[in-house]
Amino acid sequence: MDVIAFYIFAAIAVVASVLVVGQKNPMHSVMLLITSFGALAGLYVLLDAPFTAVTQIIIYAGAIMVLFLFVVMLLNVPREEPAPPAVSALLGPTGIRIGVILSLLLGAEIVWALSRIGLGWFPQDPAAASVSSVALIGASLFTRHAFAFEATSVLILVAMIGAVVLARREH
């Protein structure tokens, strides 16, 4: 059951992601990205991480992607624009081809790296309890990682102020 669910969710995520990158229309890309994130949330559930799954849906698919959608609609530029005249050989199609080749090279390297390790290699700590409980994560966030949590609040504040600074109209 789990296995089938994994392949279904993974397939949805990958196909949606391919379409995100391949889409001409940014609006469609946003929608597809939300789909992909939804599939990922499903995978988190399979991974015994319900809290992460919920975060994924609420924050990622909900908040962040809505923000994207909002900007796309605000700016209203549905189509990819044509390339401006290239001033250097590195721009234009050659540049894009180089980018693709590089990405594929890295992909090949990752495949190679992965192929060298066994499936069950990763260390396991059988003594520890299951981590699925939200309580455990909450405790970890507010005790063990309380400092990082508080530090993140500064980060969020910076982001808020920064967004205001950047998006405010001149008066």
Partner 1 sequence: MLVLIPLLPFAGFVINAFVGRRLSKTVSGGLACLVMVAAFLVAAITGWTVISGGHAIEQTLFTWLPSGDLQIPFALRVDPLATVMILVVTGIGALIHVYSIGYMHEETDGEYARYFSYLNLFASFMLVLVLGANFPVMFIGWEGVGLCSYLLIGFWFRKKPAADAGKKAFVVNRIGDFGFILGMLLLFASFHTLDFQGVALAAAARAPETATFGLMTAATLLLFLGATGKSAQIPLYVWLPDAMEGPTPVSALIHAATMVTAGVYMIARNAVLFSHAPTTLAVVAGIGVATALMAGTIGLVQNDIKRVLAYSTVSQLGYMFLAMGMGAYAAGIFHLYTHAFFKALLFLGSGAVIHALAGEQDLRNMGGLKKALPVTYWTFLTGAIAIAGVPPLSGFFSKDEILFRTFTGTAVNGWNGRPLLWLIGIVTSLLTATYMFRLVFMAFHGERRHDAPAAPVRPEEEEPGAPVPPLPGPVYSDLPAVDRTHGATHASHAHEGAHLHDAPPSMAIPLIVLAIGSIVAGFIGVPHAIWGSNRIETFLDPSFEVSREAAATEPGAPLVDVPPAAEPHEDTGRELTLMAVSTGIAFAGIGIAMYFWLRNRAASDRMARRFAALHRLLLNKYYVDEIYDAAVVQPIRLLSTSGLWKGVDVGIIDGAVNGVGLSVGAGSRGLRRAQTGSVRTYAASLFLGVVLILGWYLWR
Partner 2 sequence: MTPITPYHYLVLSAALFMLGVIGVMTRRNIIIIFMSIELMLNAVNINLAAFSQQLHNAVGQVFAIFVVAVAAAEAAIGLGIILAFYRNKETLNIDEMNILRW
Partner 3 sequence: MPPGFSSSDFYYLMPELVITAGALLVLALDVLLPRAWERVLSWVTVAVILGAGLALVPSAGQNLTIARDLVAIDGFATFFKVLFLVAAALTVLMSPRYLTLENVHPGEYYFLVLCATLGMMFMAGGVDLITLFIGLETMAVSFYVLTGIIRPNKRSNEAAIKYFVLGAFSLGLLLYGMSILYGLTGSTHLRVIATSLVAGDGGLLLPFAVMLLVAGIGFKIAAVPFHMWAPDVYEGAPTPITAFLSVGSKAASFAMLLRIFVAGLPAFRADGLGTAWGQPFGWGAFFYVLAVVTMTVGNLAALTQGNIKRLLAYSSIAHAGYILIGIVAGSTRGVSAALVYLMIYAFMQLGAFAVVVMLRRKDIIGDELKDLTGLYATHPGAAIAMLVFMLSLGGIPPTAGFMGKFWVFGAAIDAGYVWLAVIGVLNSAVSLYYYIRIVVFMWISEEEEKSAAFGISPAVATVLAVTLAMTVLLGIYPRLLFDFAQASAASLGSVPSLGLR
Q: State which of positions 121-150 bind partner 3 (CB under 8 A).
A: 121-123, 125, 142-148
8 belongs to the binding site for partner 2 (CB under 8 A): no
Instruction: Please report whether residue 111 would count as binding partner 1 according to CB under 8 A.
Output: no
List binders of partner 2 among 75-134 (CB under 8 A).
75, 77, 80-81, 83-84, 87, 91, 96, 99-100, 102-103, 106-107, 110-111, 114, 117, 119-120, 122-126, 128-131
Q: Which string of DSSP letters, residue by residue, matches 93-119?
A: HHHHHHHHHHHHHHHHHHHHHHHTS-T
Between the CA of residue 122 and those of 13, 118, 127, what are the distances in Å?
A: 24, 9, 15
Helices (H), 23-171: 26-46, 50-55, 65-75, 92-115, 134-139, 146-167
- Give the binding site for partner 1 (CB under 8 A): 87-88, 90-91, 95-96, 98-99, 102-103, 105-106, 109, 112-113
